[in-house]
Amino acid sequence: MTTATISTVRDLSGTYTLDGSHSRVGFVARHAMIAKVRGAFNEVSGTATIDGANPSASSLEVTIQVASVDTRDANRDGHLQSPDFFDAASYPTITFTGTGFEIADDETVNVTGDLTIKGVTKSVTVPFTFGGAATDPFGNSRIGFEGDVTVNRKDWGLTWNAALETGGVLVSDKVVLELEVSAIKAA
């Protein structure tokens, strides 16, 4: 099937490699209870085998390099890499392994998987919206997806915080994971 004939998630099939330079794995957390801090991981790799006709035959493996965390503040990035948060020296990667794929409609696939952070694995379901398929100028067949999900960072042992004089805490427990994926089909 050519990219011109792929119009729904049910039309997808094949093995795809995540294009790290055109994808984003980001997060948003409340800071000091008054503002949001956004960050991303700049080194992400992964592969997916997609079978839109038989979603249970699909698979997904994603690896994130913790040391690539980028919040546009070197001090904060260093703190996030420390044992207070991700402990990059002991746990250099975050992984996500797909365990279930449910097509909700023509544009949405709910991907359930095991998210492992700091050696703790929890199941997470991310609703992904299909952005479409296209052939790029270099002849690559590409697909795009976007999704987000809210998680509680404490579920993965990310418990560091600081009390504020005005009440509340410095970092919210709830974190929104933002995923924008571009993937290239294997020849």
Residue 184, by phi and psi: left (phi above 0), alpha (psi -120 to 50) or beta? beta
CA–CA dist 7, 34 (Å, integer): 41
> How far apart (Å, rounded) are the C-alpha atoms in residues 84 and 158?
7
Question: Can you give the pTM of this predicted structure?
Answer: 0.92
Query: 72-90, pLDDT tens digit by residue?
Result: 999 999 999 999 999 999 9
Residue written as tokens 């994808």?
A: 23
Query: What is the maximum alpha-carbon separation in the chain?
Result: 60
pLDDT tens, position by position, 134-173 = 999 999 999 999 999 999 999 999 888 778 788 777 788 8
